Amino acid sequence: MATYRLGSSSAVHTPGIIAWAINGYHFERDREQLLTIVSSTFTQVPVEAIEQLLSKAVPYTVEGETVVFTVEG
């Protein structure tokens, strides 16, 4: 299992960006672009893990300004 902690910065409010991306990921035509945006923002996280997060295959929590989630692997 791998746990990822996606922190915010002055340019990116991570909980808001992830909530926005999860909402948009519902629409099939937008998935590839949203996956590209989030994976290029959080380059330390494998694309497969981001895909699980955006598709709601794994839950996440918000700790202050940080999004935390765990994936198998």
User: Are 22 and 60 spatial neighbours (Cβ–Cβ below 8 Å)?
Assistant: no
Range of the domain at 30: 2-71
> pTM of the prediction?
0.93
Of the candidates 67, 10, 72, the residue with the CA atom closest to the CA atom of residue 42: 67
- Stretches where the chain sits below pLDDT 70 are none
pLDDT tens-digit series, residues 17-33: 999 999 999 999 999 99
pLDDT of residue 35: 97
Number of domains in the chain: 1
Backbone angles phi, psi at 62, to 5 degrees: -115, 125
pLDDT of residue 1: 94
